[in-house]
Amino acid sequence: DPQVIWKTPRTSPVWKRPEGRYSRSHTGGGSWDKGGLPASWDIRYGSLTFHVKPMNFKH
């Protein structure tokens, strides 16, 4: 996230090779460079399933 609000050391090498990157537009919104990411995917947490899809407003 370009505006992370918590302290993070970013020492892990994975920070240097993101699979997707969001670029903010000067006129509002922005766009994703999804690299090798699929258009969407599911994440499961316990009995919950979240359908994740990068959107042009960042979330």
Give residue 19's identity as a one-letter amino acid code: E
pLDDT at position 26, please?
83
pLDDT tens track for 13-28: 877 888 888 888 888 7
- Kindly report the average pLDDT of the chain as a whole number: 82
User: pTM of the predicted model, to two decimals?
Assistant: 0.56
User: What is the 3 state secondary structure string of the chain?
Assistant: CCCCCCCCCCCCHHHHCCCCEEEECCCCCEEEECCCCCCCEEEEECCEEEEECCCCCCC
With contact defined as beta carbons under 8 Å apart, do 30 and 23 qualify? yes
User: Whole-angstrom Cα distance, residue 28 to residue 22?
Assistant: 13
